[in-house]
Amino acid sequence: MTINCKGTLVDLSSPKVMGILNITPDSFYDGGKYKNESKILHQTEKMLTEGATFIDVGAYSSRPGAAHISEDEELNRILPVIDLLIKEFPEILISVDTFRAKIANETVQRGASIINDISGGNMDEKMFSTISKFNVPYIVMHMLGTPQNMQKNPVYKNITQEVISFFAEKIFQLHQLKVNDIIIDVGFGFGKTIAHNFELLQNLSLFKSLDAPILAGVSRKSMLYKTLDTSAKEALNATTSANTIALLNGANILRVHDVKEAVEAVKIVEQVL
């Protein structure tokens, strides 16, 4: 199971880790931490040294109820960071966390090699055609509604079945456009109750039937810290537990704030598998 990141082939038969670099002022865990160049470079170098294969850069906060920002503001936040990272780390594989085709277009032209779309193409109708033009891996995430309303009252008849059929439809549409490298993300915490999230984690192996790499993003999320009645800051141990379950159930990529611990989880699980 290999993906082609602009000529760099990444073998996902051994799970990989994607480090999160939020350059938003209001992300749920690390918002506002990486405001200047030296902090951005230091954190990126730390994650790469600890074993991250990809760095996922996000300039639009998608936490529940986050403020909506304009396309221009997102572009102004993200482009200098892409330029900076590519200058400092020429071999870096950058994933851009955006649901906007224009941002995808501009960042891939500047050197980003993956697009990570929380809306799976639902928030910008031009996204799929933009991806097909560049032939970069595309992460399709499932979300009910938008970040502004997704947690109001999420209801499903059978969440696993509904999310699988969502992906089947999206994969079909993307294949029609000759997009080859599609990665799926069930979207923990995006329009789901805590019970929904744990049901998806438990059933993650069923998503292997879609024949696409699976990305799991549970890092420090409220499904973990609310279950333990603690905070995102104190949810590292819970994150490692959930990452381990995700790996045992077939996850190929872990998207995390804490790279070292995720890489260790991968190594331990690989000894078992």
For domain 2-272, the CATH superfamily is Dihydropteroate synthase-like (3.20.20.20)
Model-level pTM? 0.94
Catalytic residues: 221, 255
pLDDT tens digits, one per residue of 144-173? 877 777 778 888 999 999 999 999 999 999
Annotate 107-146 with DSSP letters as a single string.
Answer: HHHHT--EEEETTTTSS-TTHHHHHHHHT--EEEE--SS-
What average pLDDT does this structure show over 171-195?
A: 96
- Residue 33: pLDDT band with limits 50, 70, 90: low
d(CA 16, CA 28): 24
Whether the Cβ atoms of residue 59 and residue 77 lie closer than 8 Å to each other: yes
What average pLDDT does this structure show over 235-258?
A: 98
